[in-house]
Amino acid sequence: RLVGVAGMPVDHMARLRLVRPSSTVGLNNRGCGPKSGYICLSDGEDIFFPRLGMRLLLRKGDLLLWPNVDWETGTSVEDLRTLRLHSRRSDVGDASKPLVGIDALFHDNPLREQQRLRRFVSDMEAASQKIA
């Protein structure tokens, strides 16, 4: 469903990441491709885009997608207005629990094809290899 809503091929979507979003501007991943998304897994949270002056109230299961690229000039330019911060809604949920969500990042190229070529190296295996 996420790929269908974003209108991009599944091979252009990076692996979904479970995240604890930050309440500080600039400490949330914006992704490096044309679109990003966030799925709220908390009872309720605010997402605030200070450079756009926009606050959105999300509930568990809500999906938010936004463009990271501004095409107004005819060429792609990184859109820094998408810097955001998250905060817990005071009227919903347990304030002692951390916010949790899923980051969905879309890239310009077929990223999943490149990821299939990589091999995961465990910490133990990496520690046992000698540096040449």
> Which residue did the predictor score with more confidence, 10 or 96?
10
Read off the pLDDT band of 64 (50, 70, 90).
very high
Q: What is the pTM of this model?
A: 0.77
- Secondary structure string (H, E, C) spanning 61-109: CCEEEEECEECCCCCCEECHHHCCEEEECCCCCCCCCCCCEEEEEECCC
Mean pLDDT of the chain: 83
Q: What is the pLDDT of residues 16-58, one digit of tens each?
A: 989 888 777 776 776 677 888 999 999 888 999 888 999 999 9
Cα gap 25→66, rounded to integer Å:
16
pLDDT above 90 as % of the chain: 20
